[in-house]
Each structure stands twice: as C-alpha cells, then as structure tokens.
Structure 1
Amino acid sequence: MKRGVVIGSRINLENGLFSINGNVDTEDLAKWLLYWDHITYAGVGLNGHSFSGTPTQDILFLESEGLFKTEIIDIQSLDLQSLPPPELEAHFWGLSGNQFHIVSSAARIKLSKQLSETTGNIWSVGQAGGEKLLLPGTHEQKELIDVQLVNCLPVPAKLTPFEDILDFKAKYQGELIRLRRALDALREKILSSSDERRATDAAIHEISSSLTDIYSALDGSGIKTISESIALYTKNPDLVFWASLGEQAADSQGIPIELGRYTGAALATVIKFLKRNVPGGQNLPNSNSDFTYAFEAIQQLK
C-alpha cells in the first residue's frame, strides 16, 4: 500500500503580521520525497479563483514523474463555522491572517481524507518549516499524543538533486519500508495501550536500527544529510500506556518522557512522548489509522 502526504501553504503569524508563501521550499520537498510515495499540494479556492503558488522546476519535474500534483479545495466546501474573530486586517477573500491558516489546514485535512477514500492508499497531513500544529478551530478540544523523533531523522541536505533521491529510493526501498513498518508498529503499540514495556522498547529499537541503516545507505550513496526532528500526532492512549513508561499522568502542557538513546548507532535515537490538548474536535484527521506529521515542530509547541 502506497503512502501519500498532503501539504499546503507555509503561513507565518509574527508580531501581528501575516504572511503566506504558496510556493513549496525545495528543502521541504526533499523531505517528503524521501519518505513518502506521493505528494499532493492542497490549494484553496473560491468562486473559480485559487491560491496555490507558482510551480517551480522541481515541482514540474516531480509532476512529470507522477509524484506530485495540486488539487484545489473550495473554501465553501469546508466546515468553518468556528473560525475565531478576525484579529488582523483581511488579506484573502475576506479572511484575516489568524483565520486563513485554519482554512489552509482544513483544506489539507479534507483532501487527505478524500484521497484515502478514493485511492485506497494511506494519506497523511504534513507540515514543515517550523509551523505550529494548525488544525480547524472549534470549541471542542481533543487530547493527542505527540511522538517526537528528536534530531535523528536523516533528510537530504539543501541542493541535493531530486534524481539522486529517486535513485536512492529505488535502490534502498527495503530500508525505507522497514522504517515505515517500524513506525507503524510503534503506533500500534500506542493505540493498543500495551502495558508491556518490552514491546514498546522493542518497537523503538527497531526504529533506531532502521534509522541507522538509512543513514549509512545515504552516506554510502554520497548524499549529504542533516538530522531533523519530526513529530507524529495520533490518538492519545489510555493511562495504562503512560503507566508502562513509569509516568502515571504526563503533564498536558508537554513534559516529555524520553525513551532510549541507543549507543553504537550512527544516529543517537531519542523518542519523546507528550500529551497535547489540540483544538479541532471532529475536524481532526483519523487518528486511529493515520499520523499527522510535522517537521521541526518541536520548538513551536509550547
């Protein structure tokens, strides 16, 4: 079964100023390209007009390879009854900056669900570039578990040719699938709320071993890498899971539980589990079957 990721516009809200970049950074594309099979950009539209950025040469290349596409989600098709009051001057289609990022996120989530239903593959929601976890705002909150791989995921360095990444994926498909399955296994342990600490540790050790193999393969292929963090959000397990980690009630504001730094690995693997109260309610992705992924989100989550 193939894995796809839905991405969108990078949005920044800083010091009361709102900015949006519809283009996708090459560095971000390289991350998604290495670890996912397909990338779809969720643009937003209204009354025949759309905002989806300008295709770069990298995107045109990936489109020609059948690995990237853009789909437009009409704002009127989204459930946006609970948008917060506007805080800034309207910039796009009557939406304020503190509202538009929620619209963009809602478009990603809707498209992810649609593609999962129509393609038969598994699609996740992706965010990059230090964005906060942005989800459609409602008065209802849901508690998620935030599983962090801290500074241990090798991703291609800037200016790595996409052809080299595709050649690597073809040659080392087994290693990449092994990591994918190891992450799936950890998710299953979390969702089953297993109190067997050995089972959880075994899943983490498999992730560490898989990362070491991928790091070595990338190095042997001459692909320069940097180590990044990735956060994976899914359904919060029952208390029995937290008890198995030796922590009866992890702080809801995000006190991490650190599991396993495996010495001797090419990359020291540190995995942290945090509880997050996230607004969004029923608008959240299906946490029983999919992850929501965010690169470099750790410093943004307080």
Structure 2
Amino acid sequence: MSKKGIVLSPPFTPLPAGGIRCGGDPSPLDLRKYLMYWDEIDYPSNNFIHISSPDIDYLEKAKALKRTNVVFQGTVSSGQGEFFVAAQEAALMENQKNEPGSWTIAQVSGVPFYTQSHAGIAVDFELYGMLPIPSEDTPLADILEFKVQRRDELIAFRNYLDDIYQKIISSADIPRAKNTEIAKLELAINDLNKVLNESGMRRVVTNLRNTINLDFSGIIGVGLGAAGVASLIHMSPLLLGMASAGVVVGFKSIAMPGATKCPTQFSYLNSVRQNFKC
C-alpha cells in the first residue's frame, strides 16, 4: 500500500470582494480526522506567517506532521490571505515531486479556493454520518498507537475508498446501491467502528467530503439519467436513528484548481453537514 499524505490548510472563508479570511489553526477534530486516515500531514509554513497549536507541535515532534517551508518572493496576493493557499499549493507540488501520486490537499472550508482556478462540473463525493474518528479530546498519542495496532483495517478502508474514486474516474458513472465497492466500503467502515469501540476511545461519527477535480460537463445527460441530481446511497447507520447515513454523490459546478499550481485530482473539503457524537 502506497503512502497517503495530505497537505492541510488553515480554516478559511472566501470573501465576496476576493481573497479569503483565515481563522487560525485547524480544529482538534479536523486534525484527528486527517491524522487517523492519512499517513502524514503537511501543515506548511511561509515567510509571512507561522500558525501553530499544542496539537500541531506535538504531531510535528512525533513526526506525524511536517512543515514544508515556503518562501515567497515579491507580491503574492491581489486580495487578502491568498498566501495561505499559495503555500499549500507550493507544498503539494514539492511533495508530489518527491513522492509522485502520494499526496493530495484538504481545505478547511466548505468552499474551495485556489490561486488559479476555473469553473467545471465535478463529482462531489461524501460519506455522510459514516466516518468514525476519535473525539477531539482523545490524546494524540492514543491515535498514533491505534494506527500502528490497526493498520490493516485502516489500509482496507483506504483501498475501498480508492476503488470507488477510480471507478468514478474511469467510467464517469455514479456508484449504485448494489455496487460491489460500496458494499466493501460499508464492511470496512463497520470493521473500523468495531475496533475503535474495542479501543475504548470515545468516537465522533463525522463526514468525509471529496471533490473529484475532473470536468464531467461533457457527459451530463448522456446515459446517466438522474445521475446529474445528488443521490443518497443508504447504508447501515452507525448511530441509532440516523436512517439517512450513507454515501452522497452528485455532480456540482465548483471551482477547480489549475494543474500547474495545484496538481491533484482530489480535494477534500469541509462538509456543510453536522457531526454526531456516540
């Protein structure tokens, strides 16, 4: 299984007049989600600002998080705050150069933002109410130990998720309820939930949203029927009463990154949906 790394942004909100407003370090819950399901986090620094927290410092010392140092020359932004995203894109390019195909990005925002972008019809893929992660007060050392002990289950989950992404890319189709990959994914998630429960760690059932940055505009309405409308594939809920837990998949008009500045097919975004404690 190849390494999976993710370059993380600070939380931000796009501004109507252009640029973004940043709000400090990622939440403890966001850090625990990306720590749980990725091998390494890159939280880049630049010569304008260095954002840190006790959690970030601990993970850096434990070598679970690194900081790609980005040095900007001259004018970086035309609006407000773009140097945060510019640093993320530069770190992604550096990581992809050193470890091709192993890295992607996560933007702690419900809306994507890139220094160079174009509008396109992408696939928005989300595990809704399905992803178990340790709660925000879980010691980071406990999560690191869990990842060593339960590496096989975590790899199985990532494999099944990758299968679904690749099936979408290769066939330009929406996975259906009877799709084999969806069934395997449900088993992998249930296995993870079971071993997390056995570990004694308090859990939060949250969402994982991924935008597949390929322009599907050319195939909308061609043999897809209702696939252009967001669909929900129901799965066994991890929480009593969460009958709507499942996989939400749909086409969406969204900003896509320019390949020369941000070479990734996948961008992870914050969900607009609620987290659930169990």
Q: Secondary structure at the match of 1:228?
A: strand
RMSD over aligned Cα atoms: 3.2
TM-score by length of 1: 0.75
Cα deviations across residues 187-229 of structure 1 (Å, max 9, x unaligned)? 1111111669679711111111111111111111111111111
Q: CA deviation at 1:24?
A: 3.2
Provide, for residues 98-157 of structure 1, a one-character-per-residue CA deviation record: whole Å limited to 9, x for no partner: xx2x442233123112202113461110123x542222354x323221111112111111
Distance 1:196 1:145 in 2: 9
Describe the shift of the 1:145–1:110 C-alpha distance in structure 2 as closer, same or farther (beyond 3 A): farther
What is the correspondence of 1:175-186 to structure 2 with a 5 Å cutoff? 175-186=153-164
2:42 equivalent in structure 1? 40
Residue in 1 that maps onto 2:199? 221
Is contact 1:232–1:291 with CA below 8 Å preserved after alignment? yes
SS of residue matched to 1:164 = helix
Equivalent residue, structure 2, for 1:294: 269
- Of residues 21, 24, 33, the one that matches 2:23 is 21
Q: TM-score, length-normalised on structure 2?
A: 0.81
State the partner residue of 1:136: 115
- C-alpha separation in 1, matches of 2:79 and 2:220: 43
Q: Percent identity?
A: 22
- Whole-angstrom distance in 1 between the partners of 2:21 and 2:220: 43
| 1:90 aligned residue | none
After superposition, the C-alpha distances for 1:20-58 in whole angstroms (9 at most, x for unaligned) are: 33433322211111001101112333xxxx21213x332
Please name the residue that 2:169 is paired with.
Answer: 191
Aligned to 2:50: 52
Gaps of 5+ in 2: none
Partner residue of 1:73 out of 27, 47, 70? 70
Contact kept? 2:207, 2:273, Cα under 8 Å: yes
Which amino acid is the alignment partner of residue 136 of structure 1? T
1:278 has 2:254 as partner? yes
> Structure 1 residues 151 and 8 mapped into 2: Cα distance closer, same or farther (>3 Å)?
same
* Cα deviation code 1:73-94 (max 9, x no counterpart): 234489x7xx7xxxxxxxxxxx
Is the alpha carbon distance of 1:123 and 1:297 closer, same or farther for their aligned partners in structure 2, counting shifts above 3 Å?
Answer: farther
Q: Across the two proteins, how many residue pairs are aligned to each other?
A: 265
Give the C-alpha shift of residue 242 in structure 1.
7.5
CA distance in 2, matches of 1:196, 1:57: 41
Query: 1:240 Cα deviation (Å)?
Result: 8.2
What's 2:235 paired with?
Answer: 262
SS at match of 2:26: coil
* Paired position in structure 2 for 1:89: none
Partner of 1:91 in structure 2? none
Give the structure 2 partner of residue 109 of structure 1. 89
Given the alignment of the two structures, is residue 247 of structure 1 paired with residue 242 of structure 2, yes or no? no
Q: 1:198 to 1:40 in 2, by over 3 A?
A: closer
In 2, Cα distance between equivalents of 1:241 and 1:155: 37
Partner of 1:88: none
Larger relative contact order, structure 1 or 2 (CA cutoff 8 Å, min sep 6): 2
When structure 1 is superposed on structure 2, of 273-282 and 225-234 the one drifting more is 273-282
Equivalents in 2 of 1:156, 1:187: separation in Å? 25
Match of 1:118 in 2: 98
Which residue of the partner structure matches residue 33 of structure 2?
Answer: 31
The code of the aligned residue for 2:168 comes to I
Assess if the C-alpha contact under 8 Å between 1:233 and 1:292 holds in 2: yes
Report the CA distance between 1:19 and its aligned residue. Answer: 4.7
Corresponding letter in the other structure for 2:267: T
**Contact in 2 for aligned 1:9/1:43 (Cα 8 Å):** no
Structure 1 position 7, deviation (Å): 0.8
Does structure 1 residue 8 correspond to structure 2 residue 9? Answer: yes
Q: Say if 1:236 and 1:275, in contact at 8 Å, map to a contact too.
A: no
Corresponding letter in the other structure for 1:27: L
